[in-house]
Amino acid sequence: MTQAALPPIVDSHCHLDFPDFDGEHDTLIARAAEAGVTRMVTICTKLRLEPQVRALAETHENVFYAAGTHPMSVADEPMATVDELVALAAHPKFVGIGETGLDYHYTAESAAQQQESLRLHIEAARQTRLPLIIHARDADQDMARILTEEFRAGAYSCVMHCFSSGAELAKAALDLGFYLSMSGIAAFPRSKDLRDIFATAPVDRILVETDSPYLAPPPHRGKRNEPAYVAKTAAVGAELFGMDYADFARQTTENFDRLFWKAATGAA
């Protein structure tokens, strides 16, 4: 397959503002384009850094952005407000709320604050109709409970970013109509159990991402990840679902456009 024939694909979650990429954005985005990556969403994890993340989206036509307070930062950052998040969403290239969520692996001591922050982000997602971007680690039971409770209180859309949790949380999310996003973790040789969870999901509810600069898929594992490498994860996803790469790329791009409607091709 020549580069010109590469089907378009989207990196639904990356962190272009991280220092790993300083001074390299033009070449990084060019390499992504060579791999067929036509759009990417860069994620702000601390709201005080939103201006620099927004600037990246404003500078590069194919870069969109989202913002929220990462659960691991909740204890050290001001609590986000619904009004603050809703105001940010007025920007034409702001396409999602988060990432937010629960991380009990590293920061279990701030669980109560994380849960409060998560519920605030959910309300902002409701009000803006933008997708919620969820980070979940070692918090499956609380995550499923809160997502379900809040959905019953008022519908919202959501992606479980870099999904690497258990089958029960996957089922809870899918039952609510949410999406699961495949990162490089799903391509690791030892991730068979995770791939089995993805294989039970409807393919029209799957996204792909890098979470770069982290979690580079093979053959780049252990090195800095970047948006171009989402194609490597997508190749594993295509095999998992028994699809040609082009068909899987097309399907996940359609899924992205449905969920991240402000970033959809042709969106105003």
Binding site residues, as ranges? 13, 15, 99, 135, 161, 211
How many C-beta atoms surround the C-beta of residue 37 within 10 A?
27
Q: What share of the chain is helix, strand, coil (3-state, %, to 5)?
A: 50, 15, 35
Tokens of 67: 């913002």
Decide if 81 contacts 115 (C-beta within 8 A): no
61 CB-contact burial (10 Å; exposed 0-12 / middle 13-18 / buried 19+): exposed
3-class SS string, 168-194: HHHHHHHHCCCEEEECHHHHCCCCHHH
Q: Looking at this protein, which amino acid is placed at residue 90?
A: A
CA-atom Rg of the chain in angstroms: 17
Q: Considering only CA atoms, which of 155, 194, 199 is closest in space to residue 178? A: 155
**What whole-number distance in Å separates Cα of residue 51 and Cα of residue 48?**
7
Decide if 209 contacts 181 (C-beta within 8 A): yes
As annotated, the binding site for a divalent metal cation includes 13, 15, 99, 135, 161, 211
Tokens of 196: 């089995």
Phi, psi (rounded to 5 degrees) for 113: -65, -40
Residue in this structure with the two tokens 């990417």, named with its chain if needed: 40
Q: Partners of 160 in the beta sheet? A: 134, 180
